[in-house]
Amino acid sequence: MKLLAQQREINVEINGRSCRVPEGLTLIQAMWHAGYEVIRGIGCLGGVCGACAVYYRVPGKHELQSGLACQLLVEEGLSFSLSPNLPVHNPRYHIEKIRDPKQELFQYFPEAALCRNCNACTEACPQHIDVRTGIWKAAFGEFQEVADLFLPCVMCGLCVPVCIADISSHKIGLYARRTQAAILDKMPDMLRNRIAEIENGAYDACWNQIESLSEAELRTCSPETLLTPRG
């Protein structure tokens, strides 16, 4: 896929191959321009899904850096490759069967207690999350703070390969967020009341009416005429 061919071209290295691409492209666009058929590693293209994790080196610097290929722009001499699909520790659990989320953390993620405090995970995070602090707080059961810290996580997994303790930090953050919301937080009264209304059939007539409408009728009807529970 050729993009912006009229712009000034610069030299980059993609997967070890020298390429010339137009200035101003994102790394993903540069791969398309260079003829790469990217199947894995493409998602929202907006920095939200974390699918396009990438490793890169900036000319003149020795550090291997990481980020999201849909958010980074090419520059002269840049070298980059998409991150491989690394296997991560991803235990299966059922939220409804968890009784003590803070204790069961170590059943599902025993490596959570092995953090060496090296901070490599934080340095690798393209969302600038304090991952190290999140893992420490998870180990001490401070799940609300963990959930808040990991709220910007896009599940790119770049924290995993740099961890000397092989901790799947993003998965621990997700576990904390899920259990905090589903188990540890008190359900708001308004939400509890609405769920009870639904379970007691207050909206059955509304739903049956919606299902009976054609697509054209759904486009023109007023929501207020449908979403009113029976008395």
157: left (phi over 0), alpha (psi -120 to 50) or beta: left
User: Any idea what the Cα angle at residue 104 is, between residues 163 and 165, rounded to 5°?
Assistant: 15
Query: Is residue 134 assigned to a domain?
Result: yes
Overall number of domains in the chain: 3
Is 0.85 surpassed by the pTM of this model? Answer: no
Domain with 59 in it: 9-82
User: What CATH code is carried by the domain that includes residue 44?
Assistant: 3.10.20.30
User: What CATH code is carried by the domain that includes residue 120?
Assistant: 1.10.1060.10
Query: Is residue 3 assigned to a domain?
Result: no
- Average pLDDT over every residue of 68-88: 94
Please write the tens of the pLDDT for every residue from 178-196.
999 999 988 888 988 999 9
Please write the tens of the pLDDT for every residue from 18-48.
999 999 999 999 999 999 988 776 788 899 9
